[in-house]
Structure 1
Amino acid sequence: MSLTGTPFYITTIVLAIAALIVAMVAWNHIPGPKPIKIFVRLFMLVTCQVTAILMVFVMVNNANSLYDTWDDFLGTGGGHVTEARDPAPPPAPEQKLLTQFKSAPDGKMGDGVQETTLKGPQSAVEAEVYVWLPPQYKDPAYKDKKFPVVELLPGYPGSAKAWFGTLKVNEQLKSLMNKGEVAPFILVSPRTKLLGGNEDTGCADIPGKANADTWISGDVRRMVIDNFRAESDAKHWAIAGYSAGGHCAMRMALLHPDRYRAGVSLSGYNDPKGEPDSATSKDPALRVSANPLTILKNAPQPPHVSLYLAGEKGDGFGDAQEIRQNAKPPTSITVAQISGGGHGTDVWRNMVPDVFRWLTNEMR
């Protein structure tokens, strides 16, 4: 039974209610000696708590798109790396990275989301990618137009579906695009949980494990350009994320100004120690090299990139201020302070319109 499916969700509700009813009815009617009665009552209490916790977990997981499958949750599934090796050179221009798309079956992501499984020739990663095309894409008036692109990264744990399912980015932006308030961006969300077990890559290339950076900024980017009417110049590309995905977006925009002109971090962080399950936090050298502040300070020249950094005090705001204090033109930093709401998807979902208005202005 699917972890995120409606049948399992309903089953957990039924089990929680049934466990409570059985305990209430049977509490004073348990036969046998006193020790047996005590043991059975304790068992019923534990059963009530376990079923209630399971129901709440499924509700939270479905609402926040934390885990897609039981394997993701239990850490028992294999990774999405077909071969642990150094990144390969990008394919030649004539070698198109074509792939087959189908409508995403998960109705929670709204209309128009397409899904494919991409085998990345550079990264040796094979995983799912979700793409949403703006309403103008099929308009005859735009038949010769190429479109700007925003890559969307979830937090950890987090599903590639989260931006469409939990943050409802496509539903929120469709009307704004039709009104001309937001540019008609192609939205792309690749899987970022690539390793087996409960280990995150931090969106970096981890020697001997996974080329996550090459997957996101190389293979996925190339696939979008080869399969859709997408702009290829960096000035038409942006990358955005929340929480651990915000750290990734900030880091990658600063590291690859030749691929992204803008980056958005919602409640992200600089030092990877903020994500204890990340491979970059466990390796001292990677922890330093993956820090966006280190990348900014060590850049041979200030990267031509614009960053929108949002956070609450104690949750990303201080990190954003550090980046702004160390940035020099043409690096442009916009810092937004989040007032209350905590570290959660409700906050980031409400920020989507303003974030994309900012992206529209920066990339116009």
Structure 2
Amino acid sequence: MADISVIDGPVPVVVLILGAFALLILLARRGRTAIVTLAVAVAVAVVTFLGLNWLLTRGLSLFPETLPTVVLFWISLGAGAVVLAVGNLVGTAAGRKVLAICSGVAVLLAAGSQINIYFAEYPTFGALAGSTGDVSPLTGSVQRPSANAATPVVDRWTGPATGTSQVLTTPIPGTVSGFTGRDAYIYLPAAYFDPSPPLLPVLVLVSGQPGGPQDWIVSGNLQTQMDQFAAANAGLAPVVVVVDPNGPNDTITMCMDSNVAKADTYLSQDVPNWITSELGVDSNHAHWAFGGFSYGGTCAIQMATRHSQLYPSFIDISGEREPAISADRTQTIQTAFGGDTAAFDALTPLTLLSQRRYPDVWGFFAVGANDGEFLPAMNEVSAAAQKAGMTVHTETVPGQGHSWAVPEAAILPALRWLGPRLGLTRASS
């Protein structure tokens, strides 16, 4: 049951049909009250459609980006259905009231289902229930040291790997930064548990916002994706550490050191220091990469432009044009830097790319082909990266918007492209 998809197959179709039928039930009334209710429902739906983005991005400053049109449509439909359901409670018999409540819930479920299909946030019933699958806590540190590997792991590994991969969870303390993040999730490939384990490269990942590290495990299907890469490469895959730069309240830190938090110090000192001391990996940062989706994609190029010696390879999937707390840039700068625009600008990727050269940095960019807001951002940032001397690869995922389907489709191509950089594969001749 937990593995049944709620974004593909029969389940979302059935939910949508039931929701449509329920909406017809809510509309199937006559009389003055029914007409007034319908008028109010339409008005609420229209106001929601036209005003919700302003409210979320400008009025309340909850999100820096607007919601896609299709998502707005389903939210507006749900809002109108609530009004219809309430109107059906006025002057009706008990049976009609029960039917109205059930119908309203059915429409809301159908709308929620369609929104989830767009974002692909919860792909299965298990994900909806909050399950992260077979994840265990990391107990103690690995009984082998990290070391700087001068040669690629593909030249040191005979393979293939036996056994299975594991996903573990553990806190990563903010020893230097003082920052407290939510527990990290760690993917360890089967080769990691070999009797003669190789020193493996490292990929650090960050999720979108709102969200948390578990999203890469649940929505991004990380373990399956990495296992597929390992299966195609004699058991080799990176050690993947999914970290949280936003903390338990999901505060937008922008992956910067600012008045909000010392998130940059956490990602550039605490996280790599912990990985090296606790996991027994290849500590040669030439074989490390940083990646992420949406907010995490922005964070990835921030790390590559500010700390290219630590993360000389990056994966920016559906990243923003620049980090942001609010759609109002002035408010972002006021919150994070007390209004000091120069201090903020000095840390943004576009500024750094215009001022510095990065001939030793490789960046993989991907975005949904239907993502009207983030596709132009990718084009602008990737062009600036290439102009600054980076080796750049861009891809668009057909038929997708700002959805977790994009990183699920892009992470394997990204790893294949970066494979020689990480030492996991040999460069094609």
Same fold (TM over 0.5): yes
The aligned amino acid for 1:136 is A
- Deviation, 1:45, is 2.8
Q: Aligned partners of 2:99, 2:258: CA distance in 1, in Å?
A: 47
290-299 vs 329-338, greater mean Cα deviation: 329-338
Q: Aligned partners of 2:365, 2:253: CA distance in 1, in Å?
A: 22
Q: Aligned in 2, Cα 1:242/1:181: closer, same or farther, shift over 3 Å?
A: farther
| Preserved CA contact (<8 Å) 1:271 1:287 | no
Partner of 1:132: 187
1:297 equivalent to 2:354? Answer: yes
Give the alignment partner of residue 273 of structure 2, picking from 219, 222, 231.
222
3-state SS of 1:333 partner: strand
Partner of 2:376: 318
Partner of 1:257: 308
Q: Aligned partners of 2:293, 2:237: CA distance in 1, in Å?
A: 21
Partner of 2:365: 309
The aligned amino acid for 1:63 is P
- Deviation, 1:252, is 1.2
209-218 vs 323-332, greater mean Cα deviation: 323-332
| Preserved CA contact (<8 Å) 2:205 2:243 | yes
156-165 vs 285-294, greater mean Cα deviation: 285-294
3-state SS of 1:318 partner: helix
- Deviation, 1:49, is 2.2
The aligned amino acid for 1:294 is T
Structure 1 segment 72-111 matched on structure 2, within 5 A: 100=140
Partner of 1:155: 208
1:340 equivalent to 2:399? Answer: yes
Q: Aligned in 2, Cα 1:322/1:201: closer, same or farther, shift over 3 Å?
A: same
Q: Aligned in 2, Cα 1:251/1:229: closer, same or farther, shift over 3 Å?
A: same
The aligned amino acid for 2:176 is Q
Structure 1 segment 1-364 matched on structure 2, within 5 A: 36-37=91-92, 41=96, 45=100, 48-50=103-105, 53=108, 57=112, 60=116, 62-63=122-123, 100=140, 112-126=166-180, 127-142=182-197, 145-180=198-233, 183-194=236-247, 196=249, 199-207=251-259, 209-273=260-324, 276=327, 280=332, 285=341, 288-299=345-356, 301-302=357-358, 304-311=360-367, 312=369, 314-326=372-384, 327-328=386-387, 330-364=389-423
Per-residue CA deviations over 1:196-240 (Å, capped at 9, x if unaligned) read 3x6411222222x31122222221221111111212222111011
3-state SS of 1:141 partner: coil
Partner of 2:10: none
Identity %: 24
Per-residue CA deviations over 1:147-186 (Å, capped at 9, x if unaligned) read 1000111111122011121111221221331331784200
The aligned amino acid for 2:319 is G
- List alignment gaps of at least 5 residues for structure 2: 5-14, 30-88, 132-137, 143-163, 424-429
3-state SS of 2:185 partner: strand
Per-residue CA deviations over 1:315-347 (Å, capped at 9, x if unaligned) read 434333333443456522222233331111123
TM-score, scaled relative to structure 2? 0.59
Partner of 2:7: none
Per-residue CA deviations over 1:225-266 (Å, capped at 9, x if unaligned) read 111121222211101111111111111111111110101111
Q: Aligned in 2, Cα 1:318/1:56: closer, same or farther, shift over 3 Å?
A: closer
Q: Aligned partners of 1:289, 1:67: CA distance in 2, in Å?
A: 42
Per-residue CA deviations over 1:35-55 (Å, capped at 9, x if unaligned) read 642798568535642465368
Q: Aligned in 2, Cα 1:203/1:37: closer, same or farther, shift over 3 Å?
A: same
Q: Aligned in 2, Cα 1:163/1:39: closer, same or farther, shift over 3 Å?
A: same
- List alignment gaps of at least 5 residues for structure 1: 7-12, 28-33, 70-97, 103-109
- Deviation, 1:297, is 1.4
3-state SS of 2:398 partner: coil
Partner of 2:59: none
Alignment RMSD = 4.0
Per-residue CA deviations over 1:264-323 (Å, capped at 9, x if unaligned) read 111112233596499856656265344311121133x43631111122363434333333
Q: Aligned in 2, Cα 1:229/1:303: closer, same or farther, shift over 3 Å?
A: same
| Preserved CA contact (<8 Å) 2:320 2:377 | yes
Q: Aligned in 2, Cα 1:274/1:202: closer, same or farther, shift over 3 Å?
A: closer
Q: Aligned partners of 1:210, 1:268: CA distance in 2, in Å?
A: 21
Partner of 1:73: none
Q: Aligned in 2, Cα 1:66/1:195: closer, same or farther, shift over 3 Å?
A: farther
Q: Aligned partners of 1:67, 1:240: CA distance in 2, in Å?
A: 27
TM-score, scaled relative to structure 1? 0.69
Q: Aligned in 2, Cα 1:125/1:343: closer, same or farther, shift over 3 Å?
A: same
The aligned amino acid for 2:204 is E
| Preserved CA contact (<8 Å) 2:122 2:218 | no
